[in-house]
Amino acid sequence: MTICKNRATTRIFARTILAATALVLLTSWGSMESQVNAAASSQTLNKPATQTARNTAEKSKAISMVYTTKRELALTFNGLGDAQKMKWLLDDLDTYKIKATFFLPGDKVAKQPALAKEIVARGHEIENNAVRSLDLTKLTYEQMDKEIKASQELIKQKTGIVPRYVRTSLGTYTDDVLRAAAHNGEEAVIGYSLFLHNWEKETDEQKYHYVRKYINRGGIIALDIEENKHLAVSIPLLAKAAADAGYEYVKLDKLIKDGAEKKPLKDIEGYDAAKINPDYGNASYKLVKELDTDEKKVALTFDDWGSDANVTKILDILDKHQVKATFFLRADGTVKNPNLARAMAEAGHDVANHTYSHPTGTEITPEQLQEEVVKAHQIITEAIQQKPAMLFRPPFGAQNEKSLKAIAATGYSTIAMFSVIPSDHDSKNSADDIVNAVLKQTKNGSVILLHMLDDIHTAEALPRIIEELQKQGYRFVKMTEEKNNQQWK
């Protein structure tokens, strides 16, 4: 990407000057290092061992992604680099107007308090990375407790800030880590939704597509300052990917406060609307594929799942054209990004069931099929925090009498098929192919089958499909709008 290449040349002179400045700063800090090390050690790590009472009742939250549909995410860093590296990093963040969260090890804050204070002065926040950036999960409870407390005290002493969140070196945690964090007043143990390591031989375009594919609203991105050798490349990529999606980087505390608490599944009305039912032999179902109407109205439907990038693009197109659609979700994707499913529901679309793992329903047992349907129902319900549209679409459209009865017996008695099939799931079909197929097949009452998959041309074709059909006088409806009127065939 040119955004990376162009900046490298313009920064050579500035970095030469910065290097000289950094040497002066490091020299002055070096004279203090042994003194600070001794102070930190005597305060925390070398105290006589005492037995720490295990906190068995209270645990801090564990957060790797925040439940929100706001277009916000957090950029976080582990560790603390030297003065020169931190100067470049902070300047980059300023350039792209990103406010970030830095998880700092207490021992490094003690050695370089001026750097920690500079981070805060630039508008970022600092949190607790334990004293020595250790993987706390490898320690005893007593050691965990001491590491968190010692780092917390050092950060407070050197910066005046009391950390609210803690992260282990790898972002991993156990129940004991959560208990030790709570014992020291930490509100949460923070993981991540994406840990960005060093690039290998990817092209600029491949790097961009990777980043955009794996960032999402409510996400927490982590980079290790010492391990990552490509910060100068990664920050522009992260900035561009978020900007292209209309997302904003906010400090972690704001992201968490802007998020919502998810209700447990069993507290959501309708969570048990789908159940395993072995007695499916006499179950009745309604198999529908189009609306029974003379009016010029059609239903847009989308199957499966896709990356945040692709699905958000589809949602934005629908919003721009003020069209409501029906989404049939593959739940093994939903569970990885519940915020995306919730965004569909909040936008007023139908959110319906397309199984958990997308098996061919006629090639598995009725019992396995019911498990797929019920598991998907529960995941989707928890993701959107409400009862889904009680519509089921079989993967690949595959169904027979036995599978239909098994599905209906779970509570999904309306099996929603389709009448317009542009085969958009095949990446060989261009946007023109998809548009032409839809326009050729659509008539009054059509149910149009489209997909949310990555690396296909549906999102490119969608605006033209909507605009052309609207020119022909068609109105778009959700499938549930007509379900209650029983206008199906």
Catalytic residues: 303, 451
Classify residue 395 by its DSSP letter: G
- Phi first, then psi: give them for residue 374, nearest 5 degrees: -70, -40
Judge contact between 180 and 55, C-beta under 8 A: yes
306: CB partners within 8 A, 6+ apart: 333, 451, 452, 453, 454
Query: The tokens 């313009």 sit on which residue?
Result: 10
Residue 37 token pair: 């090390």
3-class SS of residue 266: helix
433: CB partners within 8 A, 6+ apart: 422, 457
Judge contact between 131 and 44, C-beta under 8 A: yes
- DSSP code string of 158-217: HHS---SEE--TTS---HHHHHHHHHTT-SEEE--SEE-----S--HHHHHHHHHHH--T
Judge contact between 305 and 329, C-beta under 8 A: yes
354: CB partners within 8 A, 6+ apart: 303, 304, 328, 329, 330, 331, 376, 392, 393, 395
Crossing angle of helices 366-384 and 338-346, rounded to 10°: 70
Pairing verdict, β 188-190 and 165-166: parallel
- Phi first, then psi: give them for residue 316, nearest 5 degrees: -65, -40
